[in-house]
Amino acid sequence: MSDEHDAEWYEKKFRPMIYLVAGILLVGTVITYVADVLGIAEKWGFRNAIIFALGVATVKASAVIYIFMHLKWDINLKTISLTMACAIIFLIGMMWLTVGSEIQDEGGIDGKPGGTETTWKHGKPSKPKALKAGDS
Amino acid sequence: MELPYNSKPRPDTGLYNGKVGIWLFLASEIMLFGGLFSAYLLLRVGADDGNWSMGLMTKWVGAFNTFILIASSATVVLAWVCLKLKDWAGFRFWKWWTVGFAATFLIVKWGYEWPAKFTHYDITFTSNQQAEKVFADVFDKGSYNDCEEDHRKIWNERYDADGENKDIPEGKKAWGKVDIKDKPLDGHVVGYYTENEQGERQHHKVEAAFGISFWSHAFAWRYDARNTVLGITDTFSEKGIVAVEIAPTHGVWDAHPEEEASAANRRYAEADNDTGHDGHAGHGHHKAITIETSQISRLSSYEPAHSTFFAVYYTLTGLHALHVFGGILVMLYHLLPISQRVYESDPERFTNRIEITGLFWHFVDLVWIFLFPILYLL
Amino acid sequence: METTTQSDVSHEDHHDAHEDHGHGNQHFLTKYVFSSDHKVIGIQYGVTSLLFLLIGFLLIMCMRWQLAKPGEPIPIAGALLEHVYANNNSGEPVFKDGVMSADGYNQFGVMHGTIMVFLAVVPLGFAAFGNYVVPLQIGAPDMCFPRVNMASYWCFFAGCVVMTVSFFIPGGAAAAGWTAYSPLATLIPTDGQSYWLIGMVLLITSSLLGAVNFIATIIQMRAPGMTWFRMPFFVWAQFVTAFLLLLAFPPLEAAGIMQLMDRVCDTSFFLPSGVFGAGSTTMAVSGGGNPLLWQHLFWFLGHPEVYVLILPAIGMVGEILSNSARRPLWGYKLMIGAVLVLGFLSFIVWAHHMYLTGMSGKVATFFQTTTMIISIPSVILLTCLFITLWKGSIRFTTASLFALAFLPMFGIGGLTGLPLGLSFADLHLHDSYYVIAHFHYVVAPGSIFALFAGIYFWYPKMTGRKMNEYWGRVHFWGSLIFMNIIFMPMFIQGFAGMSRRMSDGGATYSLLQNPDVTSGALSELIMKLNDYISMGAFGMALIQIPFIVNFFYSIQNGEKVSSDNPHEATTLDWQTPTPPPHGNFLEEPKVYGAPYEYSVPGANKDYLPQTEPNRPNTA
């Protein structure tokens, strides 16, 4: 990180912060695991389970990025923030458009993945034929 | 020739060279893993009923490895802080811990998790009648109808964690959509039969894979009935196998739940005793059964070719494990005496290197944080 | 960004340092082979990629013969190929009696595309010129990570070796199209496909290392005073190109790994359930994959890749035109904006390559729209370049001729792309010769002309000698004429519905073979065009001979340049000794002005180098 901190800061502030974040991460893992053992997918529905598990993962990931990778103190450096912003925008674009263009069913990922609602089927467009590019 | 900003940050960007480089590299890594995550998402959303065999994962192993990796992520940043505080001994202490954790991660992954899967088989059958007979035999019941409830329970555990979820309309459950012959029986291959010219059968025992008892039995064998038509050679045609001896495993198929506690015994039951042809393993509670090759539609260990889920699983975790491996090599280099000399001649530059390694290592941890729920839990 | 003068890094002793422990007593191997000097690496890239440019061209020569004279033995090359080339999987020679079989045609087609894109034009434009010129233009002593740079070249070299070796393995090279669509690419029995994938993974790794290095260099190593908007346009083009490589290539690497898994570990990433193998038996695979996944990941790279091919070329053309017209680049900031927008948009247009895959109408509309939008910045770039010429006193050197020819050629290539970007027009034109003509106009008379221009332009800096102008002009006019003879008729063939992957040049579907067919059969004229195109291609080959001879002859015998700045250019790359020593600049350059200060009123010369401190108007 840009050198605005002295040794004392590292000793007194940063080190306890590391222990704290490590604790949060471990607790997060335990929570996800326990939730799975308790079967939240059955209790809350699959969609909520996804939101829960990926939400916890995102919190964990943010903690790692923010503190461990000390982005908290580096985020104002344009080089880093712009690069990461680009990567993340393109990543989302890639996922969204790739998956989006292959799901014919408007139901999206509402149903259980692997279940019938979301099964991708070729040659059975749900849209009017006239709009389809591939039909000839 | 000394390049500018190798250790001191450039005033207008606030960064030294290496840090720019590593962040750019990480951006690229995001896209690399992002490509694979997209593949995961697309394949999963498009998976046929009951084809997403995620229920086969051992969750606690994944959770354990998550712990390990998170711990290593904390120690690697502690090592860097020690260097910032000019504490070389502390740096070495935490760095060794990081390497230790990382190595543990790889040992669990490559030494236990993967091999355990490579020795664990799924069998599907050529016809429903054959399958009914085999399943009735496995569950020690007279007919398939008697054991269907057990079978369904296990199926739901494996493929359809929320099988009893009321949200899914009746008749749409994966269980009901798959023929019995396509509902796999899983276990270890503990023996096989060949036939000589006189038509006599010979029994062969399969020992633990590579002589390591921990890795039990046949390792990544493969058989697909379609291969015989297509003329592709596989393990069965190479060995001339006419029948295979399977010990249904992991308790999920076990008809005697009261003996669940002795999981460790059960796992090696087939190996340490004559499994016998009478269908009973040495420990008496675990039944090894013989299945004719002609009855088998497909036999596959939990290898990448098993199913699309395992393909994604091995590719993602394999690529991740390679990153871990690369990280270990770099961190070991930083523990060599040569690095100490670098540190003594230019402490700031060496500290920067450690920071860069740390950033990479956190990214590896980050990827795993997402891999764990999507590959093991959801 | 803030301009700063560095005090902590001093370069005043640079020349001495160079004499003492720089390059003087280095071993030949470390100096020229395993060098970490950006200039040597740039030249290594240049030589390797020019070699592959030639190989790729020779491959297409064989194919052009086959298209014009299907089934006739290839003269000279045929006999050679018959003996050195691999057998196909059924044990038959691919070039039996010197005749190119359909297998051979497919393999050459794949390798022509792959070599030209990944081993020739990208490494020449991005890596070779980028390595040589970018650090010079921003006033850096070297690339940011010299050893990573070296690793990048050797990764690239390993990729080249793997690709080349794949020709000679049993079964021959990859034969499933340069786009390697699954399931064909997964199921095709030749190991060449696996080699191709391994080669691609190496090449992608190489370009990843290169891209990180370029971006870091441009961000970190700019000389004092070299602010972002004092960087030459070429540097900007390279900067955006590097970002495209950094973020668009990894998904293909992921896809490559997956296809490799499909081929080696029998997984089914790209194989749907129920793929049929031989006869009517379904394949012995787990199934459940999605062939379109490959196409998405491939084209997610593939479209930015187009801009990787063209942006360095536009950058070079900008440099050369501004220099030869003695005019500032018109709309410098506008062009930078256009390049940035181009780079950004190029990530969200990829599926216009996939209209025929049956995507939903909504998605197709989205991609059509973005495709139409992305043509705007391209037109802005081209227009700015044209306006730069306005009222200029143009110096017609060979370099500037090539750069000038780039403009209309790229224009044709770009505009003919519009019908392909519209899903309804694409229905007819998809996979026809029209597509070939379109992208070759962009890449061959487009990018490659710009690269030729770059070679003629920077040759004096690299060697200290000029290439022969007379033969340069012969090379230029010949290339221009033959390029158009080759590619213009392909538009007509494409409109007539000639498919691009036919190994007999459409003979099977000609009127001669099907006299009863009233529509759809290829007319005699269309078939005849094959002959003309092939003649054009052979003419093209002949006219490259002066260039090749000129290139090598001039290294030793060309006219010596009288100064370090023979083109009277403003940018920093011409303010160095010729050729630049290790460390580039004798003293750290300080930048005082914009990159294209030509014909500034009040100046005593018609150009003001960026390092010139006495500037009549401080713009």
Q: Which of C184-193, C219-228, C296-305 has the lowest mean pLDDT?
A: C184-193
Which of C29-33, C202-206, C430-434, C588-592 is the least confident region?
C29-33
* Inter-chain CB proximity A99 and B38 less than 8 Å: yes
Least CB-CB distance to A87: which of B27, B44, B165? B27
Nearest to B39 among C265, C293, C583 (CB): C293
Give me chain C's average pLDDT, please. Answer: 89
More confident residue, B285 or C146: C146
pLDDT tens, B310-368?
999 999 999 999 999 999 999 999 999 999 999 999 999 999 999 999 999 999 999 99
pLDDT value for C161? 96
Mutation target to probe the C interface, by most C beta carbons within 10 A, among A77, A102, A129 is A102
Identify the weakest region by mean pLDDT among C109-113, C140-144, C277-281, C431-435: C277-281
Task: Look at strands C465-466 and C559-560 and give their pairing.
Answer: antiparallel
Closest Cβ–Cβ partner in A7, A33, A118 for B63? A33
Across chain B, mean pLDDT equals 81
CB B37 within 8 Å of CB A95: yes
pLDDT value at residue A46: 75
Q: Inspect the interface and report whether the beta carbons of B21 and C144 lie closer than 8 Å.
A: yes
ipTM rounded to 2 decimals = 0.91
Among C244-258, C288-302, C348-362, C412-426, name the one with the lowest average pLDDT.
C348-362
Q: Which among A93, A102, A133 is the nearest to C348, CB-wise?
A: A93
pLDDT bracket for residue B277 (50, 70, 90): very low
Specify the higher pLDDT residue, C478 or B117: C478
Q: Confidence class of residue C555 from pLDDT cuts 50, 70 and 90?
A: very high
- In the structure encoding, which two tokens stand for residue B146, read together? 């008697």
- Regarding predicted confidence, which is higher, A8 or A1? A8
The mean pLDDT value of chain A amounts to 75
Out of C278, C290, C300, the one facing B46 most closely (by C-beta) is C290
Say which CATH topology domain B17-118+309-377 has: Four Helix Bundle (Hemerythrin (Met), subunit A) (1.20.120)
How far does chain B reach from its first CA to its final CA, in angstroms? 53
Give pLDDT, residue A124. Answer: 39
Q: Could you tell me which residue, B213 or C133, shows the higher pLDDT?
A: C133
Q: How far is B108 from chain C (nearest CA, A)?
A: 22
| pLDDT at A104 > cutoff 60 | no
Three-state SS at B221: coil
Tokens of B143: 């007919």
Question: Residues of chain B with pLDDT > 90: what percent?
Answer: 37
Q: Which chains touch A (3 or more CB pairs under 8 A)?
A: B, C
Pairing, β B222-224 against β B296-301: antiparallel
Residue C196: pLDDT over 60? yes
**What pLDDT shows up at residue A132?**
38
Is pLDDT of C254 > 70? yes
Residue A22 touches chain B, beta carbons under 8 Å: yes
Q: Per mean pLDDT, which of B268-277, C122-131, C173-182 is the most reliable? A: C122-131
Residue B256's CB: how many other CB atoms inside 10 A? 13
- Number of helical (H) and strand (E) elements in chain B, helices listed first: 13, 7
User: How many percent of chain B have pLDDT more than 70?
Assistant: 81
Mean pLDDT of the region B33-48: 88
Yes or no: say if A132 and C361 are a contact pair by the CB < 8 Å rule: yes
Residue B278 has pLDDT above 50, yes or no: no
Best of C14, C228, C245, C266 to substitute, by most chain B Cβ atoms within 10 angstroms, is C266
- Measure the CA–CA gap between B120 and B188, rounded to whole angstroms: 5
Three-state DSSP at B243 gives: strand
Contact B230 C281 (CB under 8 A): yes
Which residues touch B263 (CB under 8 Å, ≥6 apart)? B251
Residue reference for tokens 């082979």? C33
CA distances from C26 to A77, C21, C147, C150, C438 (A): 39, 9, 16, 16, 48
A135: pLDDT strictly greater than 80: no
d(CA B285, CA B317): 35
Q: Average the pLDDT over C456-477 and give the result.
A: 95
d(CA C274, CA C270): 12
Q: Please state the separation of Cα C280 from the chain's center in Å.
A: 43
Please say whether the dihedral angle defined by the alpha carbons of residues A23, A25, A29 and A34, taken in this order, is positive or negative.
Answer: positive
Q: Is the pLDDT of residue C156 over 60?
A: yes
Find the helix packing angle between A15-38 and B347-372, rounded to 10°.
Answer: 10
Summarize the confidence of residues C78-90 as an average pLDDT.
83
Whether C450 shows a pLDDT value over 60: the answer reads: yes
pLDDT tier for residue B48 given thresholds of 50, 70 and 90: low
Residues carrying CATH 1.20.120.80, chain B:
17-118+309-377
Count the helix, strand and coil residues of chain C and give each as a percent rounded to the nearest 5. Answer: 65, 0, 35
Give how far B356 is from chain A: nearest CA, Å: 10
DSSP A67-124: IIT-HHHHTT-HHHHHHHHHHHHHHHHHHHHHHHHH--STTTTSS-TTSGGG---TT-
Confidence label for B216 from pLDDT (cuts 50, 70 and 90): low
Out of B27-36, C155-164, C195-204, C493-502, least confident range: C493-502
Q: How far is CA B173 from CA B167, B309, B375, in A?
A: 10, 19, 22
Distance CA C547, CA C31 (A): 28
Question: Which residues, listed in sequence order, are joined to residue B195 by a DSSP beta bridge?
Answer: B201
The pLDDT assigned to B174 comes to: 60
The reply to whether residue A101 touches residue C360, judged by beta carbons under 8 angstroms, is yes
State how far the Cα of C389 lies from the Cα of C164, in Å rounded to an integer.
43
Whether B11 and C4 have beta carbons less than 8 Å apart is answered as yes
- Residue C483 is predicted with a pLDDT of 95
pLDDT value for B320: 96
> Percent of chain C beyond pLDDT 90?
69
Burial status of residue A16 (CB atoms within 10 A of its CB: 0-12, 13-18, 19 or more) = exposed
What pLDDT sits at residue C10?
39
Amino acid at residue number B243: A
Query: Nearest by CB to B35, which of C17, C250, C290?
Result: C250
Give the whole-angstrom CA distance, residue B84 versus residue B347.
9
User: Which residues, 6 or more positions from B149, have their beta carbon under 8 angstroms from its beta carbon?
Assistant: none
Range of weakest confidence among B276-285, C146-155, C219-228, C462-471? B276-285
Q: Which residue has the higher pLDDT, C311 or B166?
A: C311
Where residue B160 falls among pLDDT bands split at 50, 70, 90? low
Q: Is it the case that residue B268 has pLDDT exceeding 70? A: no
- Sorted by sequence, the CB contacts under 8 Å of residue B365 that are 6+ apart come out as A64, A68, B69, B70, B72, B73
Determine contact, residues C219/B19, Cβ cutoff 8 Å: no
C356 touches chain A (CB under 8 A): yes
* Closest chain B residue by Cα to residue A85: B27
pTM for the full predicted model: 0.89
Where do the domains of chain C lie, and which CATH numbers do they carry?
Answer: 35-272 (1.20.210.10), 320-557 (1.20.210.10), 565-619 (no CATH)
% of chain C beyond a pLDDT of 70: 95
> What average pLDDT does range B224-234 have in this prediction?
80
**Nearest chain C Cα distance for residue B23, angstroms:** 9
Question: Which chain B residues are Cβ-neighbours of A114 within 8 angstroms?
Answer: 44, 47-52, 174
- Where residue C561 falls among pLDDT bands split at 50, 70, 90? very high
Mean pLDDT of B134-147: 82
Look at residue B159 in the predicted model and tell me its pLDDT: 64
* Residues C538-551: tens digit of each pLDDT: 999 999 999 999 99
Which band of pLDDT confidence, cut at 50, 70 and 90, is reported for residue C559? Answer: very high
Residue burial C335-370, b: 16+ Cβ < 10 Å; e: rest: bbebbebbbbbbbbbbbbbbbebbbbbebbebbbeb
CB C579 within 8 A of CB C463: yes
- Better-predicted residue by pLDDT, C432 or C288: C432
Long-range contacts of C101-106 (CB under 8 A, 24+ apart): C101/C503, C102/C503, C103/C172, C103/C175, C104/C62, C104/C172, C105/C63, C105/C66, C105/C503, C106/C175, C106/C176, C106/C177, C106/C501, C106/C503
Contact C563, C574 (CB under 8 A): no
- What is the least distance, in Å, from the CA of A91 to any CA of chain C? 9
The answer to whether B245 and B288 are in contact (CB under 8 A) is: yes
Q: B378, A50: Cβ pair inside 8 Å?
A: yes
Give the pLDDT band (50/70/90) at residue C463. very high
Q: Which helix (H) or strand (E) holds B321?
A: helix B308-333
pLDDT reported for residue B49: 61
Inter-residue long-range contacts of B75-80, CB under 8 Å, 24+ positions, other chains counted: B75/B101, B76/B331, B76/B357, B76/B358, B76/B361, B76/B362, B77/A18, B77/A68, B77/B358, B77/B362, B78/A15, B78/A18, B79/B354, B79/B358, B80/B351, B80/B354, B80/B355, B80/B358
Please list, in sequence order, all residues whose beta carbon lies within 8 angstroms of the beta carbon of residue A125, skipping any fewer than 6 positions away: A104, A132, A135, C358, C360
Q: What SS3 class is residue B171?
A: coil
| Burial profile C292-323: b = 16 or more Cβ within 10 angstroms, e = fewer | bbbbbbbbbbbbbbbbbbbbbbbbbbbbbbbb
How much is the pLDDT for B214? 63
Within 8 A of C282 by CB-CB distance, chain B residues are 226
Q: Which residue of C has its CA nearest to A123?
A: C358
Residues in chain B with CB shorter than 8 Å from the CB of A7 are 84-86
